[in-house]
Amino acid sequence: MIKITFPDGAVREFEKGIAALDIAKGISSGLAKKLLAAEVNGEVVDLTRPIETDAALNLLSWDDKGGQSTFWHSSAHLMAEAIEALYPGTKFGIGPAIESPKGFYYDIELPEGQKISTEDLPKIEKKMKELASKQNDFVRKEVSKADAVAYFKEKDDQYKLDLLEGLEDGEITFYTQGDFTDLCRGPHIPNTNKIQAIKLLNVAGAYWKGDENNQMMTRIYGVSFPKKDQLAHHLEMLEEAKKRDHRKLGAQLGIFMFSEKVGAGLPIWLPHGTALRTILEDFLKKEQLKQGYTPVITPHVGKKDLYVTSGHYEKYGEDSFQPIETPRENEEFFLKPMNCPHHCEVFAHMPRSFRDLPVRIAEFGTVYRYEQSGELHGLTRVRSFTVDDAHIFCTPDQLKEEFIDVLELIKMVISKLGFKDFTAQVSLRDPANKEKYIGSDENWDKAERMIQEAAAEVGLETVVETGEAAFYGPKLDFMIKDALGRSWQLGTVQVDYNLPERFELEYVGSDGQKHRPVMIHRAPFGSMERFIGVLIEHCAGNFPLWLAPEQVRVLPVAEKFLDYAKEVSKILKINDIRSTVDTRYERIGKLIRDAETQKVPFMLIVGEKEQEAETVNVRQHGKGDLGTISTTEFVEQIHKELQDN
């Protein structure tokens, strides 16, 4: 007999070798039906795997992450089965479940001369459903390495053979469902009949093992669910995300554009986008002034030597825009890929005393980085962007306090912009590869501890990623969830021991000796481009009033009220409310419709009644008619709403 401990702490005895599924059946057949996998002593395994020792057991259904990923992984196998049936001779790479986008994929190489495009997906989908309805069990089998190699040699599948090379004899398992057998660690759901709803989403290229020197394979993405309505809901969410796409809304709302002539990945800010960005920048600038930052402005290029000193040339020189040369002296300049080297020079231009520290140098600095053409994407992946950058030079003793202040600032900025859900990702060095990092062991340990303490003190929920630190110091990134539950990495704070060293920065301490300052890089928005891209999608283009490029549009009911409309708009402008007048001679319904589609927060409709009484009829975007009030009253209401924010 073995002892099984359930999540609620209950302990019961079962016969040795019993499967989780049988235990569940003993509890209730309804429960057993819902289950997808089991977690035995923290490891996700097949429901049918015999349990041989005392164990903690957690039964996994669709509501558990482990249940979902098992389900999707099994769906990948089902897809592979369908593909093998439709395209015999296909070779298979890997087929995992994935988190984002939700679902699974399989990397395949089709037989010579064949290819798959989006149009072929429904056919594969149909085959998958047909195979699922055969209600095949997923059967696990332990295989010797020799047998496994023989099997895939027979199939001439070099990818699986490549994978087998990295595996030890004795740890190799096969899973079979129907006519399809795959090298797989598992686990899997018990039977294909659980897979009730399937949608294959797209086809893409992917390098074997993600290395661009390797063979390019075809990757097919899909998603599946135990119930049909879950799939329908999922597809609705994807539709909603499409509607909110910042590339679409950005064009529609006159926020930004790209021009083939100007160049790919070089965003151009249109009037509405410029207004939005200026408001955000002004907001942060004001906050930073309060907190003792000193703004500077530095050039968009720097001499090669600057980047040789900073070390960026050695690391990124080949992969950045190539230098600009002066015609006679042949001096080389680089477009600046970051602002820190310039800011280090600002720090170094005069002797610094410990009394001056911390020095907080801030700049909305536009930087230029070469991205491969295929990696460009709207505003979120571009070749020129503006960082809301600042570099804090402080003594090691001041580091923690400065770090905390920065975290508070970023927290404030994020919540002010309507993001409710965010966590901090703390990236530490890989303790096994300490030589990869610059700076003393002692400093690293101190900084890593400091970051975690600081995050705890400001009440940030943190996730620690070991090995993700930059070579020059540990960092903390803000991971922000938008209205659709998607996660984005925005603000960032990084500790840097490297640049002060390379630029030989120093300050005079109270002891009269020279000391090296520590540097913090920080950017609450990250980049204006990326942040605004995410913001557009978060609020679906319906910006909060204080950010709306056009806050109020005055709509005259007929041409003869145009003068009154202009008068109203002028009063609003005098009162710092961004307002325009729609001067077109169109029906009021048309004017309203256009203002609504352009997501203008307030529309003021004016006609004879309003003109005579010096009032405005207020209509709010998405809400409709709010009634008539005096113009001054409206101004007060708007001011109040802006204040409360």
Among 206, 235, 279, 508, binds RNA (CB under 7 A): 206
Q: How far is the CB of 568 from RNA (least distance, A)?
A: 12
Binding span for RNA by CB under 7 A among 36-44, 208-216, 282-290, 521-529: 208-216
Among 287, 607, 614, 641, binds RNA (CB under 7 A): 607
Binding span for RNA by CB under 7 A among 122-130, 305-313, 335-343, 367-375: 367-375
Query: 246 or 475: whose CB is closer to RNA?
Result: 246
User: 638 vs 101, 158, 200, 511, 566, CA distance in Å?
Assistant: 40, 67, 48, 56, 18
Binding span for RNA by CB under 7 A among 4-12, 210-218, 228-236, 402-410: 210-218
Q: How far is the CB of 613 from RNA (least distance, A)?
A: 10
Contact 276, 532 (CB under 8 A): yes
β-pair partners for 522: 390, 493
The residue among 237, 206, 205, 212 whose CA lies nearest residue 223 is 237
The yes or no reply on residue 485 touching RNA (CB under 7 A) is no
Contact 365, 387 (CB under 8 A): yes
Among 23, 37, 83, 172, binds RNA (CB under 7 A): 172
The yes or no reply on residue 482 touching RNA (CB under 7 A) is no
- Report the C-alpha gap between 249 and 256 in whole angstroms: 9
Q: Where are the beta strands (DSSP E) in 154-252?
A: 173-177, 180-183, 197-207, 216-225
3-state DSSP assignment of residue 214: coil
The yes or no reply on residue 622 touching RNA (CB under 7 A) is yes
Q: How many residues bind RNA (CB under 7 A)?
A: 79
Contact 538, 483 (CB under 8 A): yes
Query: 268 or 412: whose CB is closer to RNA?
Result: 268
Q: How far is the CB of 3 from RNA (least distance, A)?
A: 28
The yes or no reply on residue 100 touching RNA (CB under 7 A) is yes
Q: How far is the CB of 168 from RNA (least distance, A)?
A: 9
Contact 197, 214 (CB under 8 A): no
- The length of the chain, given as a count of residues: 645
Among 179, 271, 624, 645, binds RNA (CB under 7 A): 624
Angle 628-633-634 from CA coordinates, rounded to 5°:
70
3-state DSSP assignment of residue 137: strand
Residue with tokens 């482990």: 66
Q: How far is the CB of 109 from RNA (least distance, A)?
A: 10
Q: How far is the CB of 235 from RNA (least distance, A)?
A: 15
Among 387, 548, 557, 565, binds RNA (CB under 7 A): 557
Q: How far is CA 147 from the centre of its chain?
A: 43
Among 23, 108, 163, 409, binds RNA (CB under 7 A): 163
The yes or no reply on residue 609 touching RNA (CB under 7 A) is yes
Please name the residue ranges forming H helices in 253-298: 271-290
The yes or no reply on residue 318 touching RNA (CB under 7 A) is no
Which 28-87 positions form the footprint of RNA (CB under 7 A)? 73
Query: 317 or 509: whose CB is closer to RNA?
Result: 317
The yes or no reply on residue 141 touching RNA (CB under 7 A) is no
The yes or no reply on residue 592 touching RNA (CB under 7 A) is yes
Query: 221 or 347: whose CB is closer to RNA?
Result: 221
Residues in contact with RNA, shown as a per-residue x/- string from 626 to 645 under the rule CB under 7 A? --x-----------------
The yes or no reply on residue 388 touching RNA (CB under 7 A) is no
Structure tokens at 371: 């991205």
Query: 509 or 607: whose CB is closer to RNA?
Result: 607
Query: 136 or 498: whose CB is closer to RNA?
Result: 136
Which 571-590 positions form the footprint of RNA (CB under 7 A)? 584-590
Q: How far is the CB of 431 from RNA (least distance, A)?
A: 20
Angle 19-24-27 from CA coordinates, rounded to 5°:
140
Query: 375 or 461: whose CB is closer to RNA?
Result: 375
β-pair partners for 629: 616
Tell me the three-class secondary structure of 455-511, residue by residue.
HHHCCCCEEEEECCCECCECEEEEEEECCCCCEEEEEEEEEECHHHHHCCCCEECCC
Which 416-455 positions form the footprint of RNA (CB under 7 A)? none
Beta strands 139-142 and 173-177: pairing type? antiparallel
Among 6, 207, 283, 316, binds RNA (CB under 7 A): 207
Query: 369 or 521: whose CB is closer to RNA?
Result: 369
Which 173-192 positions form the footprint of RNA (CB under 7 A)? 173, 182-185
Contact 479, 424 (CB under 8 A): yes
Q: How far is CA 630 from the centre of its chain?
A: 45
Q: How far is the CB of 202 from RNA (least distance, A)?
A: 4
Q: How far is the CB of 271 from RNA (least distance, A)?
A: 15
The yes or no reply on residue 260 touching RNA (CB under 7 A) is yes
The yes or no reply on residue 112 touching RNA (CB under 7 A) is no
Among 34, 155, 209, 446, binds RNA (CB under 7 A): 209
Query: 219 or 515: whose CB is closer to RNA?
Result: 219
Determine the angle formed by the axes of helices 271-290 and 399-416, rounding to 10 degrees: 140
Query: 183 or 547: whose CB is closer to RNA?
Result: 183
Determine the angle formed by the axes of helices 631-644 and 562-574, rounding to 10 degrees: 40
The yes or no reply on residue 376 touching RNA (CB under 7 A) is yes
Which secondary-structure segment (H or E) carries 104? strand 103-109
- The set of residues, in sequence order, having a beta carbon less than 8 Å from that of 236 and lying 6+ positions away, is none
